[in-house]
Chain A
Amino acid sequence: MEKNINLTLKIWRQAGPKVKGEFETYKLDNVSTDNSFLEMLDILNEKLVKERKEPIAFDHDCREGICGMCSLFINGHPHGLDGETTTCQLHIRRFHNGQTITIEPWRSAAFPVIKDLMVDRGAFDKIIQAGGYVSVNTGGVPDGNAIPISKVFADEAMDAASCIGCGACAATCKNGSAMLFVAAKVSQLALLPQGKVEAAHRAKAMVAKMDELGFGNCTNTGACEAECPKAISISHIARLNREFLSAKFKD
Chain B
Amino acid sequence: MWLLDSSIGRKLIMSITGVFLVIFLLFHSIMNIVVIISPEGYNAICAFLGANWYALVGTSMLAAGFVFHILYALYLTFQNMRARGQQKYSVTKNQKSVDWASQNMLVLGIIVLGFLGLHMFNFWYKMQFAEISGIHTGQFDPANGAAYVEDLFSNWAYCVLYIVWLSALWFHITHGVWSALHTLGLNNRTWLPRVKMFANIISSIVILMFMSIPVYYLFGCAT
Contacts and interface: CB of A to CB of B under 8 A. Distances in A.
Interface of A: 10, 21, 23, 73, 75-77, 102, 104, 107-110, 156, 174-177, 179, 207-208, 210-211, 214-223, 225-227, 233-235, 237-246, 248
A75 B93 contact: yes
Contacts of B192: 233-235, 238
A110 B95 contact: no
Given A210-B7, A219-B105, 17 more contacts: A73-B91, A76-B93, A107-B85, A110-B83, A175-B84, A176-B82, A208-B6, A211-B6, A220-B175, A221-B102, A222-B102, A223-B98, A226-B95, A227-B95, A234-B182, A238-B186, A238-B187
Contact of B7 (A23, A108, A177, A245): A177
Nearest to B102: A221
Contacts of A240: 8
B90 A108 contact: no
A238 B185 contact: yes
Q: What band does the interface of chain B fall in when counting residues whose beta carbon is under 8 Å from A?
A: 35 or more
24 contacts: A21-B87, A75-B91, A76-B91, A104-B89, A107-B84, A107-B88, A109-B82, A174-B84, A175-B80, A176-B85, A177-B83, A210-B7, A216-B82, A217-B11, A217-B80, A219-B80, A222-B95, A226-B97, A233-B192, A235-B188, A241-B182, A241-B185, A246-B185, A248-B9
Nearest to B93: A76
A123 B83 CA distance: 13
Contact of B83 (A216, A226, A238, A239): A216
Interface in B178-219: 178-179, 182-189, 192
A218 B89 CA distance: 19
Interface of B: 2, 5-12, 76, 79-80, 82-93, 95-99, 102-103, 105, 175, 178-179, 182-189, 192
Which of B84, B178, B188 has the most A CB atoms < 10 Å from its CB?
A: B84
Interface of A is mostly: mixed
A90 B83 CA distance: 28
